[in-house]
A and B are shown apart, each in its own frame.
Chain A
Amino acid sequence: MNRQEHLRITAARLSGWPHHDEHLIVDWSSAIPVRREDLPEDPRIRLHRVEGERRWNLCRAYNFAARLAAGEGLLKLDADCWPAATADPHNLLRKGPLWMGTGSGGSGGQFLMERRLFAQVGGFNEWLVGWGFDDKDLRLRLELATALPVADLPEGWVEVMAHADAARVGMGEGRVTAIAAAQALAALRASRLHNRLVAAESHWGPTRTQTVYRQIPSAERIPHWTAESGSVPVLPESLERSLARERRRRYWNTFLAIPDPALDLLPEKLLPGDQEGRWPVRWWHRLYWHTVRRLLMTPVWILAPWRGALGGRRRPRRRTS
C-alpha cells in the first residue's frame, strides 16, 4: 500500500532470482494504483489489486495473496525485501518445512513455509490491524498447532531496504518531518499494542472465517477485487471498546507525552480515538507538540547524559528498516 518506490526496486531484484514460479503482488488500495508497466517484464509476476481498503492491513492482505498463490511453498516478502542471490528455497524446504525471519530488522516478518502449514493455522490473524506482532502471532500459532520446530531463516537470506517507520504505516516514502515521524511512531505503538492484546484475548485458527473477496469489473487487465461487505472478521463489541481505549492511551501518550491517567480524564473531543487506524491530529495537537511537549522533554534531556552514571541501560542502536 503506497510503497511503489520500494516495490519497483525489489520487484526488479526478485525478477533476477531464478527459484520461484510466480510472484504475486497485491496492491492494497494504494492511492495511486500500481501499474503493470511499472514492474519488470517478468511473466512470473501476477499483479492483483484490492479496492476500497482505507488502511493497511498486513494480515488480510497476505491471507488474500496466499489464497491466490498456486505453489506448494510460500515465500512471504514485504515490498522492501528480496531474497539474496545465493538464497535457495528448495534447499531450505528439504531441510525443514517452516522457516521464519528473526530480529528487529525488516527480515523479521518474512517467512518460507509449506503452504499446507500456513493453511493449518488459518493463515495470519485477521483480527490484527495495521502493523506489528502479526509475525510473532503467526509463529506462535504454527509452533502450537503443528508441533514442528520453526527454524530461523539464515542471516542474510532476505535482504531489506532501509526506511523509516512512516513508510511502514502507509504514510508514503517522502521526506519525513520530526512531527510526522512522531505521529508514525505513536501509530505504530498503538497498533502493536492493539495486536498484542488481540492475540492475548482471542484465538485465531483454521475454524475462523477469513474475509471473502469478490472480483469486480475493471478496465485494466489487472484483476480487481473488493472485500464482501460484512465478511471482515470483527471482535466482540466489548473487547473492541476496551482495545480502542488502550490504543487511544498509547497513541496520545507517545505522541504528546500525556500520562495515561490524564488521558482517561481528558475529553474524547480533545484527544479522540482513531477512526479505522487514522488518528485525527488537529492544529492544536501540533501546537502542543511543538511547545508543551518540547518543554516536557527538558528533564529527559537533562537526565540523558547521566543515564549511564545512574545505572540506566543503554539500548542497542536499532537498525532502521
Chain B
Amino acid sequence: MTSRPADPDRPGISIITVCMNRRPHLLASLPRVSAWPHHEEHIVVDWSSHTPLRRDELPDDPRIRLLRVEGETLWHPSLAYNFAASQVRTDWIFRLDADCWVQDLEPLELLQNQPADGWVARASQGGSLGAVLVRRDRFNAVGGFNELMRSYGFEDKDLIYRLEAQPEARIGDLAAEHIRFIPHNAQVRANLPGSEAKARALKRATSLSNRFLAASCPWPGHYRRARYRELAPGLWRLEAGSLPEPPQEIAAEARRLRRTIFWGRFLLLPEIHVIRAPQKLLPSDSEGQFPIHWAHTLYWHTVRRLVALPLLILTFLQRLVG
C-alpha cells in the first residue's frame, strides 16, 4: 500500500535507518530526524542489538516504525538496509545511518532544481557517505544493496555505481551541508568490541574483499535477496538458507584476501608472511570475526610497536617539516 502525501507533487519519502548496538548515536540523531517535516515514515531496524531497542525510548513521532531482526551475529549493512527497504510504503527511499540527520533539505526544491532519480552523498563528504535518496523502483531495479558483501565497507559506493550504470538513470549529489553526522571512530562503525587498531584493520579487509566480490559476482545477476519470516508483529528472523552466497571459489578467495589484509594491517606484517604463515597462527575470519589470541596481543604490544617505532618517528618528522 502506498501512503500519499498531502501535496500530490511532493515526493512520498520513507527514511530507513538500521542499527546494531549504536543506541547512543541513534538516540541522539532520531529527534533531529523527527524534526524534519518532509518524510512520511521512518523505518528503524534494530539488527539484533544485544540490548533490543524499545519504542518508548525513541521520539514520540508516529512516523517511526521500529522493527527488529533477531538472531544475527554479524553487522551486515547490505542485508539490514535491504530488509528496511522491503518494508517501505512510499515511492522514495532515503537511507540515513544511525549517526546522521537531515538539515535544511527541501525535497520538492531538490526535485525541481536538480531533477533526478536519486541523489547521493559522495566520498568527499566523510561520515555522511552512504546517505542516499532514491526512487524505490530504481533501487529495486538494481537489486538494492549487494547482499554477497560481508560486514561493512564499499556497499554504499557499490549501490551508487550500480544506480549510475542503469540506462538513462540520473543520479545527483546531496550537498554536504544537508546531511549532518556525529563524528566517531572506526570501532563504532564496525560494531566491533576491542581495539581501534583491530577495527581499522577489519574495515580495510572487508572493504577490499567487498570490492573483490562486487567485481567477481555482479549483483543481483542471478542471485535473490535474503528472505525473512515474521515471528511476531515487528519481530523478524532471516530464513535459514536464504542468504545469497558467492560461488565457493570466489568466497574462498575473498576470505584469503581478508586474512592477508587484516593480519598485515593489524600486526604490521608483509603480505607474504601472512600468506605463508600457518592458519593456526594467523587464522581466517569466521563469520566476519578474526580470533585474536593472547599471542597476537603480545606481538602487537611488543614486536609491532618496535617495528612501528621508526614509522612513528617518520610521521613525527613529516609533521614537523610539512
Contact = CB atoms under 8 A, between A and B. Distances in A.
Interface of A: 133, 136-137, 140-141, 143-144, 196-197, 199-203, 205, 207, 238, 253-254, 257-262, 265-266, 296-297, 299-300, 303-304, 306-307, 309-313
B102 to A, nearest CB: 25
Closest 3 CB pairs of A and B: A310-B278, A257-B270, A199-B215
A237 to B, nearest CB: 12
Given A199-B215, A259-B270, A306 B278 contact: yes
- Please report whether the interface of chain B is mostly helix, strand, loop or mixed according to DSSP: helix
Contacts of B280: 310-312
Contacts of B261: 260
B272 interface: yes
B281 A144 contact: no
Given A259-B269, A296-B270, A196 B281 contact: no
B114 to A, nearest CB: 20
A188 to B, nearest CB: 14
Given A238-B123, A312-B279, A299 B268 contact: no
A137 B271 contact: no
8 contacts: A140-B216, A200-B154, A201-B157, A203-B165, A207-B167, A303-B278, A307-B278, A310-B280
Interface string B253-290: 00000000100110011111100111111000000000
Nearest to B122: A238
A261 B307 CA distance: 11
Contacts of B264: 253, 259-260
Nearest to B123: A238
A247 to B, nearest CB: 13
A263 to B, nearest CB: 10
B268 A261 contact: yes
Contact of A313 (B123, B158, B269, B279): B279
A261 B216 contact: no
A201 B272 contact: no
A265 B123 contact: no
Contacts of B154: 200
B282 to A, nearest CB: 10
B276 A303 contact: yes
Interface in B289-311: 308, 311
A196 B123 contact: no
Contacts of B215: 133, 136-137, 140, 196-197, 199-200
Nearest to A147: B222
A253 B270 contact: yes
Given A136-B215, A196-B215, 18 more contacts: A137-B215, A140-B217, A140-B218, A196-B216, A201-B211, A205-B165, A253-B264, A253-B270, A253-B271, A259-B265, A260-B265, A265-B314, A296-B273, A297-B272, A300-B276, A300-B277, A303-B278, A310-B278
